[in-house]
Structure 1
Amino acid sequence: MFNNLKGLYTKEMAKKVEAMTLDVLNQVNPQTSAEAEATESLHMISGSRKALFIGINYVGQKGELRGCVNDVVNIKEFFQKHYPLDDMMILTDDKETEPETNFAPTRKNILSAFRWLIRGAKKGDSLLLHYSGHGGKVKNADGTEKSGYDQTVVPVDFQSSGQIIDDDVHDALCKDLPEGVRLTAIFDCCHSESIMDLPFIYNVNGNLEIVENDRNAAISKLVAGGTRLLLDRKNKKAMMNFGKDIMGMVKDAAGSKDGRSADAKQEHVEANTTDADIIMFSGCQDMQTSADANIAGEATGAMSYALVKTLEGHLRERITYTDLLREMRETLEGKYTQVPMLSAGRRLKLDQPFTI
């Protein structure tokens, strides 16, 4: 009985600490701040549709995959059927599976294809990019990555020509794309959350996920620490440590650790914010892997499968970007550890219907 009362007491203390913590965090980093709110609508699509599909199985190489070329076939067929494409290019390393392949997915050809995709794009045009293959990470050389690593696209000839880092992906696809163009990118690969170096990452509610994650992490730590402190008020050392933790965590949650991280975050946002409407669905978070799966007897990327399955279930009534993310996550949840992500090149209202 004593243990039960102690448990109830702990829960009650935790609620009080959570309320106080939220009050503090809302003052230093309000959830309704400009950083946390999407404010801009997507431009209308009124021009041509152009698509690039890249699937790499790394046939005959160590780390060979099985489902990436199938992903290209399935994604291409879905979008051709429901969103007629005016022009497209296909890069795969399996011509038996995909005979329409234009080029091999070498490093040189992938970068050339990126440039082809955005060339001549104007307001009202819609561009689609789908990549299924290996994603990697390499040590960041210029100190611009918080994790210390650049995320990479892995070409079929990566052993001789190297990988394509996220900075180069961003420069090739995002930097010069004009206002009013929409680029929808789908990266079904490992470590893909920031593969395009887009500054705004969204959750299923349409809020900026990085803001919510910072707040939730701080709240969890502060609630745990504060509850322990209230249960042991005589422990002066615990009280001093909790005071230090509060200051550090509040600074982290506010994005202002000694004033440096806030500046670095703002510089990244300003440098990578795009004029065009660029939206990316990625297979997983930067520290996760994406599954090369076998579903219904076919080799496929788990995220590509979830995307097509979800969209096919909403052909009559278009699904929003955020609901698409939610349903994709629900499809994979419990079967795979990866968490699909949604990011954008500028602050956008993503409760609008998905279209290309």
Structure 2
Amino acid sequence: MATGLALHIGLNSVDPARYEGWDGTLVACENDARDMARLAGTAGFESTVLLTPDGTVDNVTAALGDAAARLGSGDILLLTYSGHGGQVDATGSDDEPDALDETLVLYDRQFLDDEVQQAFRAFADDVRIFALFDCCHSGSSIEVPGGGAAAEGTPRHLPEPQQRQLADRDRGFFEELRRTLAKDPPTDGAGPDALLVSACQDNQVALDGDVNGAFTTALLRVWDDGAFRGGYRDFHRAIQRRLPPTQSPNLYLTGTPTTDFLSQRPFTI
């Protein structure tokens, strides 16, 4: 019988000491993580939940490493993130056509999409990976600020002044981190077999809410306590129909997810 492990990350703020005084206050991200954990538990997943101060780079990488050690062929990882999303300069990177790395804004620092990929590469062949990211600039976050005007609400993105300030401060750190990650590429040149349904495109922002984020609200309504029937592509399209063009959820594939995986009902272990 297959095993399903889930990691749910929800950050209603970040450490201002690590973000030049900015605390990134949001309302609904911890609720999103708890609700996704309840959904996952109903579906049979064993969940780990990391909320605000526990959503650090070390804790996230440790939880992903533990899951990689436990899951084998035919098993599934569910990764959900709710919080701020960011982008950092990736000039000179061959795998970023827009010269930007998308980031998850964790409690202590930004977590590059390259680091997500690095964590995923530790999983055994044929482990299914399903990611749900409710944050700004998340269209390809398992791998440009200023899209169209957003609907009314609080965007889940690192504001431009802080983005510039942190970019100047951390440029050397991220350049060295990318060099370190590049020393350990996948041996066959392929990435992990994973699919991401994200809250928006890379050049868009995702909105917070009073109870849940706009994307998570749409997802939960589509899921309808398990009444949803259909595969991952159907799931993505149904969520997309519930959100405005200014926040258009993305379906992003990395590696070569099988047709059987894509056609499964979401959250199937």
Residue 117 (str. 1) matches residue 67 (str. 2): yes
Structure number having the greater helix percentage: 1
2:8 counterpart of 1:49: no
Q: Which residue in 2 is equivalent to 1:273? A: 191
Structure 1 CA distance for aligned equivalents of residues 267 and 129 of structure 2:
11
Aligned to 1:331: 242
Structure 1 CA distance for aligned equivalents of residues 205 and 258 of structure 2: 27
Conservation of the 8 A alpha-carbon contact between 2:134 and 2:216: yes
The residue that corresponds to 1:308 in the other structure is 220
- 1:134-183 deviation digits (Å, cap 9, x = unpaired): 1100000542210011011111122xxxx11111110112x232222111
- What fraction of aligned residue pairs are identical, expressed as a percent? 32
Q: Residue 63 in 1 paired to residue 20 in 2?
A: no
Alignment of 1:336-351 (within 5 A): 337-345=246-254, 346-349=256-259, 350-351=262-263
User: 2:78 aligned with 1:128, yes or no?
Assistant: yes
Match of 1:107 among 49, 57, 72: 57
Unaligned runs of 5+ in 2: 17-21, 144-185
Task: Look up the SS of the partner of 1:332 in the other structure.
Answer: coil
Q: What letter is aligned with 2:204? A: Q
Does residue 84 in structure 1 map to residue 27 in structure 2? no
The AA in structure 1 aligned to 2:249 is: P
TM-aligned CA deviation for residue 71 of structure 1: 0.2
State the secondary structure of the residue aligned to 1:157. coil
Q: How does 1:195-206 map to 2 (within 5 A)?
A: 195-197=141-143
Q: 2:37, 2:49 within 8 Å by CA — same for their partners in 1?
A: no
The one of 187, 197, 203 aligned to 1:287: 203
Deviates more, 1:116-125 or 1:184-193: 116-125
- Aligned partners of 2:225 and 2:55: how far apart in 1? 32
Residue in 2 that maps onto 1:9: none
Partner in structure 2 of residue 171 of structure 1: 118
TM-score (norm 1): 0.56
The Cα of 1:272 is off from its aligned counterpart by: 4.3
Maintained 8 Å contact 1:311/1:319 = no
Q: Which runs of 4+ in 1 moved over 3 A?
A: 59-62, 270-273
Alpha-carbon shift at residue 133 of structure 1 (Å):
0.6
User: Relative to 1, partners in 2 of residues 1:143 and 1:126: Cα closer, same or farther, differing over 3 Å?
Assistant: closer
Quote how far apart the aligned CAs of 1:121 are: 1.4
Q: Which has the larger radius of gyration?
A: 1
Structure 1 residue aligned with 2:98: 147
**RMSD after superposition:** 2.2
Shift of 1:314: 5.4
For the residue of structure 2 that corresponds to 1:172, the secondary structure is helix
Q: Secondary structure at the match of 2:209?
A: strand
Aligned AA (2:229):
R
Query: Does the 8 Å contact 1:105/1:156 carry over to 2?
Result: yes
Give SS of 2:122's match. coil
Name 2:170's counterpart in structure 1. Answer: none
Give the equivalent residue in structure 1 for 2:173.
none
2:80–2:132 CA contact under 8 A, matched in 1: yes
In 1, the alpha carbon distance for the partners of 2:206 and 2:122 equals 29
Q: Partner of 2:232 in structure 1?
A: 321
Give the distance between the partners of 1:272 and 1:284, measured in 2 at CA.
Answer: 25
Distance 1:93 1:106 in 2: 8
- 1:313–1:47 Cα change, 3 Å: closer
1:183, 1:169 → 2: CA distance?
12
Q: In the aligned structure 2, how far is the partner of 1:50 from the partner of 1:314?
A: 18
CA distance in 2, matches of 1:329, 1:306: 8
User: Are the counterparts in 1 of residues 129 and 194 from structure 2 also a CA contact under 8 Å?
Assistant: yes
Corresponding residue number in structure 2 for 1:138: 88
Aligned length: 215
